Amino acid sequence: MNEYVVNNPLLEGYYEKRVLHMDFGQQLADLGTLNLKKVWYFLVFLTKLKWNLLFKRPDLVYFTFMPRGLNLYRDTGLCLLIKLFGYRPLIHLHGRGIKEAAAASKIKHWLYQMAFRGTQLISLSESLKADVATVYKGTPLVLANGIDAPPFDLTEKCSKEIPVILFFSNLFVAKGIYDFLEMLRQLNTANVVFKAIIVGGEGNVTIEQVIDYAVKEGFNEKVEVLGSITGAEKWDVFYRSDIFVLPSHNECFPLTILEAMSFGLPVVATRIGGIPDMILQEQDGFIVEMKDTDSLYECVKILCTDRTLLEKMAQSAYKKYASLYTIQHFRENFLKMLDAHYIYRK
């Protein structure tokens, strides 16, 4: 999403931008880890940041805050540094779990308070505002993500006799890959007609483990495991699919749900993070409780066996995307937020 902020053409003529990239972890395996290369990049970034704050004197400092893991300590330090130079930063929260982390640790509760005091926070949805209620005295602004999806005409999508169920996320237990596989097992046992596509890079679950599970439970011929794909291949998978399932245990405001909706896919996802703000129950899809594979199965079974309902939810999901979550909506809402809530130097 940072790229959409930086490259927002609506800002031209209104704001002059200076960008410092915080891309310290270049690979999936680097996320949440610390190594000498990342320390070096961070020190270089820190030097550039201090130089800009001291000599360029911007009117607004905006950055995204990652509230968990090692990133919490890094970003708290950045908040304190920015405020030390006399600025009130505009902080876009990417990630959730602040409320739980603050309740479990007095140190983290203090860190969040220190980081957020004297700032303006931005949440990704209304429900996510509650995540900072115990550590932030102000009122967060709300700015939902948007995506730059290719043009799509729902009326041109052909109905298929066999519904295709899509899982699109990196292969981590916390992303619900085993919940998804268990759901497929139940569908197969109940003789529900379906096909499934699994897309995602390897995390703490390998592609081989996914395939072995499908083979063991006897539905491997119904499942296509693609690994990590991007670009045109990614959009083609969404086009070929009919139902999107994200049984994740930890989400904030997942872009894959918006990508699915942009291709008219009803969404079945867990009640976590901002997902309940994205999906209206029994209209755009279904919301189930985390790790409730029985409910997951029941909801997907309904969509697999009721073509009329599937098409009705597909239309609703697409209309919601088109009216709220396009990249143009994000650009316009971001500009409105800056204009209406101008953050100035103290």
Q: Are residues 331 and 319 in the same domain?
A: no
pLDDT at 220 over 70: yes
Q: How confident is the model at residue 343 (pLDDT cuts 50, 70, 90)?
A: very low
CB atoms within 10 A of CB 100: 12
Any residues with CB less than 8 A from the CB of 303 and at least 6 apart, and which? 163, 242, 243, 266, 268, 309, 310, 313
Q: Are residues 220 and 259 in the same domain?
A: yes
Q: Are residues 158 and 236 in the same domain?
A: yes
Residue 126 within any structural domain of the chain: yes
Q: What are 269-303's pLDDT values in tens digits?
A: 999 999 999 999 999 999 999 999 999 999 999 99
Q: Are residues 88 and 160 in the same domain?
A: no
Alpha helix (H) residue ranges in the chain: 2-6, 36-51, 69-84, 98-104, 106-116, 177-189, 207-217, 231-240, 255-262, 275-278, 293-305, 307-324, 327-340
Residue 346 within any structural domain of the chain: no
Q: Are residues 172 and 113 in the same domain?
A: no
pLDDT at 305 over 70: yes
Q: What are 101-120's pLDDT values in tens digits?
A: 999 999 999 999 999 999 99
pLDDT at 210 over 60: yes
Q: Considering its fold, how many domains does the chain have in total?
A: 2
pLDDT at residue 344, as a whole number: 39
Helix (H, G, I), strand (E, B) or coil at 333: helix
Q: What are 140-156's pLDDT values in tens digits?
A: 999 999 999 998 888 77
Q: Are residues 180 and 131 in the same domain?
A: no
Q: Are residues 84 and 113 in the same domain?
A: yes
- Which CATH number belongs to the domain containing residue 74 in this structure? 3.40.50
Contact 51, 81 (CB under 8 A): no
pLDDT at residue 25, as a whole number: 53
Contact 154, 264 (CB under 8 A): yes
Q: What are 317-338's pLDDT values in tens digits?
A: 999 999 999 999 999 999 888 8
Q: How confident is the model at residue 34 (pLDDT cuts 50, 70, 90)?
A: low
Question: What residue type is assigned to position 341 of the chain?
Answer: H
> What is the distance between the alpha carbons of residues 6 and 15, in angstroms, rounded to a whole number?
11
Q: Are residues 135 and 189 in the same domain?
A: no
Average pLDDT, the chain: 91
Q: Are residues 110 and 170 in the same domain?
A: no
Q: What are 37-85's pLDDT values in tens digits?
A: 778 888 898 999 999 999 999 888 888 898 888 889 999 999 999 999 9
> What is the distance between the alpha carbons of residues 289 and 313, in angstroms, rounded to a whole number?
20
pLDDT at residue 32, as a whole number: 52
Any residues with CB less than 8 A from the CB of 257 and at least 6 apart, and which? 244, 246, 267, 269, 275, 278, 279
> Which carries the bigger pLDDT value, residue 192 or residue 155?
192
DSSP 79: H
pLDDT at 268 over 70: yes
Residue 345 within any structural domain of the chain: no
Contact 72, 34 (CB under 8 A): no
Phi/psi for 142 (5° steps) reads: -120, 125
Structural domain of residue 302, as residue ranges? Answer: 154-324
Side-chain-side CA neighbours of 36 within 13 Å: the count stands at 0
Residue 273 within any structural domain of the chain: yes
Q: Are residues 162 and 300 in the same domain?
A: yes
Separate counts of helices (H) and strands (E) for the chain: 13, 10
Q: Are residues 129 and 57 in the same domain?
A: yes
